[in-house]
Amino acid sequence: MRLPQAILTRAWRESANLAQLLPEVRTIESARSELRWITEYVHEKMTDRASKGIKVSEGDLQNKISHLCYLRGQKGFPLQYLLGSQPFGDSLEIKCRRGVLIPRWETEEWGIKVAQAIRRSHPFFTAGAQEDLDPGTDIPSEATGHTFKVLDLCTGTGCLALLFAEQLRAPTVKSVYVEGVDISQNAVDLARRNRSINVGQFEQYGTSVVFTRADMFALDVASDHFDIIIANPPYVSEEHYYSCRHTTRSVRRFEPKQALLGGIDFYRRIFQLAREGAVPAVVCEVADQEQLQEIVDECIDDGWDAGGMSDSAGVARTVIAWRKELSAWSWMKQLIDS
């Protein structure tokens, strides 16, 4: 859709860089925010260069800012590729690069909600260290292990795996193990890099994170005793992928099709893995209410309780399921939309 001339004129009056950004960014408010981030980023880079004795002029600085605004606004480059990373969770820095899906705010939002709820309510975390328990404390048997294990399928940059590691920091006597799996070598390499950048946020708490390259349709986790499977699988239909209303030009041009195109087969496989591995709980991102209903109808049997959780924009965004017979997970119903 073309931008109204009045908005363009307003932007030009304020600054040429703002006007450059508008075709992709669309609103003056968003363009102002992006211009501020780009300016901060360039200042940081230039300060860094200056500290190494490289001469940097005010002209270099301005040229760099306007070049990035041009790439962003006129060529449609995602901001995260230009700035190199995306903040995530409380303190994670997730490096981004072409060929690997950029983490979305919706994913961060549900990831934080679910991880914090586990930390608050699951007996593994609430019952205290095993050594500190009063004799006779009634802990469900499924919560008595010393390692809480999370499997993140379709991990991409590793953002969700690292978010769970950050949010589930446990008392030292216990440990948390998070494994992220992706079919793309490019994604796994980036996830490993993200792990090494962010390891300081969780390693001293006894939490470990591992990234593995694997096709989830050929994966075997039957004997791995995971406590929960989380996933943001490819879920965009062909129809939505090619429709400008659902998928922007920038997403189609820069982000990998393999990370986006998918649907019910992925959810069917996730719940099959959960059944084979006797995994007590599953949380997956979904596109909308229609897809949520399809998953509940087609992939989840009577042994589970399940429902959806909407995001702050009011869109059904997550399917949450847990085994009925396990009391350690029954608190999950608090996450479900009423």
Residues lying near ligand SAM in the complex (CB under 6 A): 101, 103, 107, 154-157, 159-160, 181-184, 187, 215-217, 232-234, 258-259
Question: Shortest distance, CB of residue 182 to ligand SAM, whole angstroms?
Answer: 5
Question: Shortest distance, CB of residue 181 to ligand SAM, whole angstroms?
Answer: 6
Q: What are phi and psi of 307, to 5 degrees?
A: -170, -175
Q: Which is nearer to ligand SAM, 14 or 224 (CB)?
A: 224
Question: Shortest distance, CB of residue 231 to ligand SAM, whole angstroms?
Answer: 7
Q: Which is nearer to ligand SAM, 258 or 330 (CB)?
A: 258
Question: Shortest distance, CB of residue 46 to ligand SAM, whole angstroms?
Answer: 30
Could you write out the DSSP letters of every residue in 140-180? -GGG-SSEEEEEEES-TTSHHHHHHHHHT---TTSEEEEEE
Question: Shortest distance, CB of residue 109 to ligand SAM, whole angstroms?
Answer: 11
Strands 207-213 and 175-182: parallel
Residue 301: which of 329, 328, 327, 274 has the closest Cα? 274
Q: Which is nearer to ligand SAM, 40 or 215 (CB)?
A: 215
Residue 315: which of 228, 230, 235, 229 has the closest Cα? 235
Residue 209: which of 196, 227, 222, 226 has the closest Cα? 196
The number of beta carbons lying within 10 Å of the beta carbon of residue 34 is 22
Q: Which is nearer to ligand SAM, 18 or 118 (CB)?
A: 118
Residue with tokens 């996450």: 335
The number of beta carbons lying within 10 Å of the beta carbon of residue 71 is 18
Q: By beta-carbon distance, which residue lies closest to ligand SAM?
A: 156
Could you write out the DSSP letters of every residue in 48-93? HHHHTT----HHHHHHHHHHHHHHHHTT---HHHHHSEEEETTTEE
Question: Shortest distance, CB of residue 207 to ligand SAM, whole angstroms?
Answer: 18
Q: Which is nearer to ligand SAM, 107 or 318 (CB)?
A: 107
Q: Which is nearer to ligand SAM, 65 or 231 (CB)?
A: 231
